[in-house]
Structure 1
Amino acid sequence: MVHGGCHGAWQWEHLQTWFAERGWDSIAIDWLSHGDSARLEHGEWLCRDITAVQHEIEIACTAAAELGQGAPIVMGHSMGGLATLAYAASTARELAGIVLLTPVVPEKFGGAAIELEVDADAPWGPPPPEVARQLFYSGVDEATAAACYERLQPESPAAVWQATRWTAEVDISAVRAPALVVAAEADLLVPADYVLSLADGLGAEQILLPGVGHGVTLDPGWPQLAERIETWLSKA
């Protein structure tokens, strides 16, 4: 499970528990310089884009393979969705499937830039609490929003630029794993039509969540989403 920008492994707590209760083993990673993972040198971190997170995904997949659980499924949200896609397009490892939740899309599937101000020489965000709520977890109550905000962290400006200007280049024709792609109708960061266009390009099964914002792993409707993901996984 690969988190999104400004987040950490904590954003998977609901889904990780839900899947564990149904017999699924999982690893929720922290990117480098996030959560409990090792810190990069500051200048290196400022220049680190989303697709570099393939490094952490490979570490997690190697750990999963050592447990003898078979080919892994990689699930990514937002920036983590783009990292997952890039990994699936480049790895020689067999993957049982990929699940992309409101993913940042490659250049081919993006559109108009999201005009967030980004300074290449300084960490980005987190934005003010109410802005963060609208961007990252618009469906939650005030108490939950406050608790989530306390766990957000600044993000690499290179990653934010890549996510808002759609500059990533990924050869999706190289993706061999079956894919499920989830779009959110009220997503302010990655418009649903961009996500569904990516799904079409992948030949993926797709889900459009009506009235839901970008933060689908934290939105109150996450149990229903988990059920739909598990239904797909049982067929993948």
Structure 2
Amino acid sequence: MNDVIDLEVLHRPADAARRRAAPPLLFVHGAYAGAWCWEETFLPYFARLGYDCHALSLAGHGGSEGRDRLDNFTLNDFLDNVASVAGALPAAPVLIGHSLGGYLVQRHARRSQVAGLALLASVPPYGLSGSLAYVGLTGPHLLAGLSRFQWHEAPDRIDLRVLRELLFSTTLPQARLDAFAARAQPESTLALAELMLPQPWQMFGLPRPLPCLVVGAGQDRIISPADVVATARAWGVPAQFCPQIGHALTVDDGWEQVAGMVADWLARHFGGKR
């Protein structure tokens, strides 16, 4: 699509007393979500550590325009969203992507300068074909539940038991599960269809060396450990895992563990000790 889309971008400036001489951070959400998934967790956490933080909602997501034509957006449209917001920042950012967002920031790094990448429970460079098989084999009822939600936006149509099993750890409080369900939305069927096509060529020609962190969720029912390891190998870094957390690690119980891993990595590469 060639339309100009008004994108929602949440901004948390760095704590003035702790401001670092570091690149800005740009957070990119996963499927079915928006910038809101970082709003009460990662954004204030990293702003307090002295980083200038931004999170965008992709077209048709969160507070961005285009919800009425969500299914028309392609992966290239979403890549244009990332490029537009990243290009407006005062310096090349560190891109922190979750799930679909992780896939997008990897693609963005192929064509634009970035300071670094943090990939959290990320779709691997070759797409979702392996994940589709993984969920289908290990939890076909979860795949069916996700498919049902894709066609019903109303929160009261979401099976909360399936949602918890698919995305979260068992310790997430019910109130936070309810809050997530109330804001979750369907995803672009066109973008999902593109993402499910095998893309083995995306594993080659990555812009290395580049500071990169790859973190997997130990209780992830969507992205398999093998996918996490494959992504890390493609970038020439070790895979790291946070054992007691589910796929939706931006808001799951224990998200602070993941944020701490990212903070340690940022401090080593961009900002000294935290």
Following superposition, the deviation at residue 11 of structure 1 comes to 0.6
Alignment RMSD:
2.6
Length, aligned pairs only: 225
Q: Is the 8 A contact 1:2 1:80 kept in 2?
A: yes
The whole-number CA distance in structure 1 between the counterparts of 2:76 and 2:222 is: 18
Q: Tell me, which stretches of 5 or more residues in structure 2 are unaligned?
A: 1-26, 137-142, 270-274
The percent identity for this pair of structures is 30
The whole-number CA distance in structure 1 between the counterparts of 2:162 and 2:75 is: 22
More contact order relative to length (CA 8 Å, sep ≥ 6): 1
Q: How does 1:71-220 map to 2 (within 5 A)?
A: 71-91=92-112, 93=113, 95-107=114-126, 111=130, 113=133, 114-115=135-136, 116=143, 124=151, 127-138=158-169, 139-163=171-195, 165=196, 167-168=198-199, 170-176=202-208, 177-220=210-253
Match of 1:25 in 2: 52
Following superposition, the deviation at residue 49 of structure 1 comes to 3.7
The whole-number CA distance in structure 1 between the counterparts of 2:77 and 2:202 is: 12
Deviations 1:209-230 (A, max 9, x none): 1132111111221212212111
The whole-number CA distance in structure 1 between the counterparts of 2:202 and 2:73 is: 16
The whole-number CA distance in structure 2 between the counterparts of 1:231 and 1:52 is: 32
The whole-number CA distance in structure 1 between the counterparts of 2:151 and 2:211 is: 34
Following superposition, the deviation at residue 108 of structure 1 comes to 7.6
Q: Per the alignment, in what secondary structure is the counterpart of residue 64 of structure 1?
A: coil
The whole-number CA distance in structure 2 between the counterparts of 1:24 and 1:8 is: 21
The whole-number CA distance in structure 2 between the counterparts of 1:166 and 1:207 is: 26
Q: Is the 8 A contact 1:110 1:194 kept in 2?
A: no
Q: Tell me, which stretches of 5 or more residues in structure 1 are unaligned?
A: none
Q: Per the alignment, in what secondary structure is the counterpart of residue 107 of structure 1?
A: coil
Q: Normalized against structure 2, the TM-score is what?
A: 0.73
The whole-number CA distance in structure 2 between the counterparts of 1:219 and 1:38 is: 27
**What is the identity, as a one-letter code, of the residue corresponding to 1:211?**
Q
Task: Give the ranges of 4+ consecutive aligned residues of structure 1 lying more than 4 Å apart after TM superposition.
Answer: 122-127
Q: Comparing 21-30 with 222-231, which one deviates more in the overlay?
A: 222-231
Following superposition, the deviation at residue 171 of structure 1 comes to 4.9
Deviations 1:49-83 (A, max 9, x none): 44542111112212212xxxx33100000111101
Q: Is the 8 A contact 1:46 1:123 kept in 2?
A: no
Q: Per the alignment, in what secondary structure is the counterpart of residue 244 of structure 2?
A: coil
Q: Per the alignment, in what secondary structure is the counterpart of residue 131 of structure 1?
A: helix
The whole-number CA distance in structure 2 between the counterparts of 1:209 and 1:161 is: 29
Q: Normalized against structure 1, the TM-score is what?
A: 0.84
Q: Which has the larger radius of gyration?
A: 2
Q: Comparing 165-174 with 145-154, which one deviates more in the overlay?
A: 165-174
The whole-number CA distance in structure 2 between the counterparts of 1:88 and 1:20 is: 24
Following superposition, the deviation at residue 184 of structure 1 comes to 1.3
Q: Is the 8 A contact 1:183 1:207 kept in 2?
A: yes
**What is the identity, as a one-letter code, of the residue corresponding to 1:87?**
H
